[in-house]
Amino acid sequence: MFEDFILPDIGEGIVECELIEWLVNEGELVVEDQPVADVQTDKALVQIPAKHAGRISKLYVHQGELAKVHAPLFQMEIESTASFEPGHPVPSPATSSPGHWSARQSDLAPTELGGAKVLATPAVRRIAREQEVDIRQVVGTGPKGRILKQDMVAFVEGAAVPVAVSAEATVKVDSTAVNPVERIPMQGMRALMAKKMLHSVRTIPHFTYAEEIDVSALNLLRRSLNEGLAEGQPRLTLMALFMKSLSLALGQYPLLNSHMNEAGDELAQYADHNIGMAVDSPMGLLVPNIKAVNHLSLLEVAAEVKRLTEAGRAGRLAPADLSGGTITISNIGAIGGTVTTPIINAPEVAIVGIGRIQRLPRPDAQDQLVLREIIVVSWSGDHRVIDGGTIARFNNSWKAWLETPERMLLALR
């Protein structure tokens, strides 16, 4: 039986996606839930799994082309149910009859060799067997070190290991110019980011407000709490504390936890604090968000920060992680810099940039200079919704929670 795989809805409002890489070839066997393709949506890299076990009979979309939601992505030839029932042996090549196919388990899953997982497609593993190559010796240039067909071919031919080429851009070099120039098309996540940022600056009247915050006590508390954590528990980061304290401030100033509609004539104010955090990934800037921070414990927020950071850097964020945010934190201090003018992540109405921690002299209660750990926070607000006084009072509330973290712990639920 032949069946077309129809590309389903893979995110809110997404109607098409770019096919980054086929993980199988026509004629290859797959098992149920085996990854078949990586596609790049407007928001994330998504892996498409097979719905059934069977043979891939046709690939409708070429690598680099756009696949349409609700349109066929590939076709499968599905074997009789008995051949793929749990516990039912799959016939081997020597014993299978015409019209039947077979596969060894090593063809259908990442191989465990010497305790290390080798990520490779079935076609690549087949080449390795045919050429009697130890696949562990091949350097993979695909996502998460996946060994691609070109890596295996280069290894077999004795060529240099190919350099991983980003699926987001194909570089064109204008060699006829006096001063050669590389022309790099804006594609994938970078194109989306450029489009979204342009929309934000064109439609939202930004204003910026900056303030110093002393995080000496906060950092001391974080270190103390981490010392008492059991093995396996997520470590508390400053980002987790920033989020929980920001949520407390949003409880006092709910206006900042809002969305402005496209027409600019209606404001949606949300009860849940879905706080986004900017992640610097190989695909560009991603802004996943932690849902309902106001209902999570500090450790739950810390676990989500860790999960989203790792998934973002690996390009494996789910569309749900990237949608529904209500306010955003951009921690530029992780890289460097002190003051920024962040661009609002529309349709949100506010974003804050956090600079790096600086040890600076500040007067104590007796007017004696002491070294303190200082950050500068830079707010950008939508002036249609927020005025300077509102964002200053909101920031003062947030600052108070951060500078007296023992009060924050008392207020947590």
Spatial contact of 275 and 327, defined as CB atoms under 8 Å apart: yes
Annotated active-site residue 387? The verdict is: yes
Quickly list DSSP for 13-75. Answer: T--EEEEEEESS-TT-EE-TT-EEEEEE-SS-EEEEEPSSSEEEEEE-S-TTSEEETTSEEEE
CA 262 – CA 124 distance, rounded (Å):
48
Peptide bond into 347 cis (omega under 30): yes
Of residues 4, 214, 272, 383, which has the active-site annotation?
Answer: 383
Of residues 9, 33, 134, 387, which has the active-site annotation?
Answer: 387
CA 349 – CA 358 distance, rounded (Å):
28
The SS3 assignment for 392 reads helix
Annotated active-site residue 273? The verdict is: no
CA 297 – CA 70 distance, rounded (Å):
39
Spatial contact of 219 and 357, defined as CB atoms under 8 Å apart: yes
Which amino acid, residue 332?
A: I
State both tokens at 279: 């992640």
Place of tokens 């594609």: 187
Q: What are phi and psi of 347, to 5 degrees?
A: -90, 15
Which residues are known to be catalytic?
A: 383, 387
